[in-house]
Amino acid sequence: MTTWIVMLAVGLGSYALRLSMLALLGRTGVPAWLASVLPWVAPAVIGALVASMVLTPGGSPVTAVPPELIAVAAGFAAVRWTGNVVHAFTAGMPVMWILTAIGM
């Protein structure tokens, strides 16, 4: 029963945190300093996710060319070509799925 209590408490805490931010920003609006850095959130998150995929736990780069690295290159090319971060996923994920399916 303790596991369920912890899960319920974490869920309620997460909901309360999100609700409080919406309620606060709904009344006051987003501060100018925060609005100026919001466009950089998505690239930073994607960079962190990519770095965790292409680096070993020790922090050194992988030695073989895994499907993830090829998918990262495809996503990078798509973003450079279109200028839209969403295209990193629409190009990179199918490449990774195909390479994984063929056993690379």
Write the DSSP string, 31-70: -HHHHHHGGGHHHHHHHHHHHHHHB-TTSPBPSS--HHHH
Contact between residue 70 and residue 77 where contact means Cβ atoms under 8 Å apart: no
Q: pLDDT tens for residues 4-61?
A: 999 999 999 999 998 888 888 777 887 889 889 988 888 888 888 878 777 777 767 6
Residue 17: give the domain boundaries: 1-30
- 43 in the same domain as 14: no
Number of domains in the chain: 2
- 50 in the same domain as 26: no
- 79 in the same domain as 51: yes
- 61 in the same domain as 101: yes
- 58 in the same domain as 11: no
- 58 in the same domain as 9: no
- 100 in the same domain as 53: yes
Global pTM value: 0.50
